[in-house]
Amino acid sequence: MKFNTKTIHGGQKHEETTGSVMPPIFQTSTYAQSSPGVHKGYEYSRAANPTRTALEDNFAAIENGTHGFAFSSGLSAIDCVLKMLNPGDEVIAGDDLYGGSYRMFTRMFQKYGLKFQFVDMNSVENVGRVVSKNTKLVWLETPTNPLMKIADIEEISKTVKSTNPNILVAVDNTFATPYLQQPLDLGADIVMHSATKYLGGHSDLVMGALMVKDQKLAEELHFIQFAGGAVAGPMDSFLALRGIKTLHVRMQRHCENGKAVANFLAGHDKVGAVYYPGFEDHPNHEVAKKQMKDFGGMVSFRLKDERKEAAFKFLESTSVFTLAESLGGVESLVNHPVTMTHASIPEPERLKIGITDSLIRLSVGIEDEKDLLEDLEQALQV
Q: Supply the residues annotated as catalytic.
A: 46, 98, 172, 197
User: What is the C-alpha separation between 66 and 60, in angstroms, rounded?
Assistant: 5
Strands 135-141, 90-94: parallel, antiparallel or unpaired by DSSP? parallel
* Three-state DSSP class for residue 47: coil
Residue type, position 151, single letter: A
Q: Are 306 and 357 a contacting pair, CB within 8 Å? A: yes
The DSSP symbol for 17 reads: T
* Three-state DSSP class for residue 238: helix
The DSSP symbol for 89 reads: -
Q: Which of 273, 32, 33, 13 is nearest to 148 (CA)?
A: 273
Q: Which of 208, 174, 149 is nearest to 327 (CA)?
A: 174
Whole-angstrom CA distances from 266 to 19, 271, 292 are: 52, 7, 22
Q: Listing from the earlier edge strand, what are the strands of the sheet with 298-303?
A: 271-275, 298-303, 359-363, 333-335, 322-323
The DSSP symbol for 24 reads: P
